[in-house]
Every structure is written in C-alpha cells, then in structure tokens.
Chain A
Amino acid sequence: MPRLSVWFVRCSLVYFLLGLTLGSLMLVNKGVPFAAWVWSFLGAHMEFLLLGWMVQLAMGVAFWILPRFGSGAPRGNELLLWAAFAALNLGIWMAALQPYHMQSWLALTGRILEAFSVFLFVFGSWQRVKPLET
C-alpha cells in the first residue's frame, strides 16, 4: 500500500471512531437524556462518517488499487493527490466546527475545500481508470 493510501485510510479510521463516538453519545442521549447539547454533534457526526470515513477510505483505496501507468510515475501526479488529502481534511474540520463558531464562512470554505479536494482526486485519477494492458 503506498504511503498516501496509508494516510488516507488511517485518517478514515480515526474519523470513523470519532463519528461513531458522537453518534453513540447521541443515541445514548436519546435513550436516557442527560444533556441537550449532545444534539449539536449531529452535523459533525454526519461530516466525519460520510466525508471523513467513507469518502476518504474510497480515495485511499482507489489510489492504491487503480491500474498503474507503465511508464513515468506509476500512480500519476502524487502531489495532486496529497493536495486532495490536505484539502479534504481541512474542509471536513471547517464544516464540522461551524456550528460552534457561528461563522457561516467557515462551513462555506469547508465545503469549497471538500469539493476542490474531490475535483483534484478525480483529475488525478481519471487516466488510471483504464484497461490494465494499456
């Protein structure tokens, strides 16, 4: 597994635990209410699990297993994908923390960074979606 995939996948595992912990706290609070503010975790719960866990895991595994190029860099421009990794993680935190910061620009910037990250990922992976022999 290449280094970038290790980073993508390990970060996705961390987000999975974070998102699951927040979700578990909300479910416990639903069964036995102990603090109304627990519901403020809902946005971060969804952000961590959908973008942090699933999307990031998919990106990391795709970078690892998609067909490689026969000549030059086997997995294309790695720098582009490192930038996608950084933008995605920065975007996730900005979007997740917005409810506590009360600044609408935070969520907006976070979402733009997430979209930019996916654009970089698609741009960097597009040519690798090909038959193995070419």
Chain B
Amino acid sequence: MPLLTRIFIKTAMVYFSLALLLGIIMTVRTLAGTFPVYIHLLVFGWLTQLIFGVIYWMFPKYSRQTPRGHELLAWITYGALNLGLVLRVIAEPLHAAQGSQLSGSLLVLSAILQWLSGLTFVANTWSRVKEK
C-alpha cells in the first residue's frame, strides 16, 4: 500500500472518529452550524477520502513509469481536501454563531480548496479508469 494511501486512510479514520464524537456532543448540546460540519466530516472527510486512498492504490496502473499517475497532483488532492475541510470545520460554526467577513472569507476559501481537491483527483484518476 503506497504511503499516500496510508495517509489518506488514516486521516479518513480520524475524521470518522471526530464525526462520531461531534454526533455525541450534538445530542447533548445544540451548537449552531455543527450539523453541516457533522455530515461533511462523514461524507467528505471519511467516505470520500477513504475512496480516494483506495482508488489511488487499487485502480489500473497509469503507465509502467508512473503507475499511479502524477504523484504531486495526488498530494495536492490530499492537501486541498484536508485544508479545505478543516477550514470549514472552524468557519462554519463561527459563521453560524456570528457571521463576520473573516468567517465568510474562510468559507469561500474552504469551498475553493475542496473543489480543487475534487478536480485534481478526477484529473489524476480519469486515465486510470480503462479497459484491460
């Protein structure tokens, strides 16, 4: 299993744990802006990131020289996904409680980073989805 896959999967597991912890907290105390964070920790931080890691590892090889495509692009995917998601985790409750220019800008930056992670992932994966 390549290093990046291990990092993807372990990070996904951390988000999974955090999401479940947040779920417990949310049943005890109502916190503004936490429900979208909870959903996206599960669906983006856990499921999608796990899928990214496994696809990077298991899909047909891109070429003999670069079997997993452009490694730098894959690292950018990892960085953008996680920075974008962490920004959202911080900014979304802040914005829901007391919206400011800073929290709004952080949400915009988070959206751009998460979108960029998807774009780089698809760009790096597309050619690996091929018939034998």
Contacts and interface: CB of A to CB of B under 8 A. Distances in A.
Contacts of A2: 131-132
B131 A31 contact: no
B126 A49 contact: no
A54 B129 CA distance: 16
Contacts of A36: none
A4 B122 CA distance: 19
Interface stretch (B9-17, B23-31, B62-70, B108-116): B108-116
Interface stretch (A13-21, A86-94, A119-127): A13-21
Interface in A1-31: 1-3, 6, 9-10, 13, 16-17, 20-21, 23-25, 27-28, 30-31
Given A6-B130, A13-B126, A31 B91 contact: yes
B44 to A, nearest CB: 9
B5 interface: no
Nearest to A7: B129
B99 to A, nearest CB: 9
Contact of B129 (A1, A16, A17, A23): A1
Interface residues of A, number: 22
A57 B60 CA distance: 15
A54 B49 CA distance: 12
A32 interface: yes
Given A31-B104, A31-B108, A6 B131 contact: yes
Contacts, number: 67
- Range for the number of chain B residues in contact with chain A: 20 to 34
Do most interface residues of chain B lie in helix, strand or loop, or is the interface mixed? helix
Contacts of B21: none
A23 B51 CA distance: 19
Given A6-B131, A49-B43, A31 B107 contact: yes
A17 B119 contact: yes
9 contacts: A6-B131, A16-B122, A17-B118, A27-B111, A30-B92, A30-B104, A31-B95, A32-B105, A57-B51
Interface of A: 1-3, 6, 9-10, 13, 16-17, 20-21, 23-25, 27-28, 30-32, 49, 54, 57
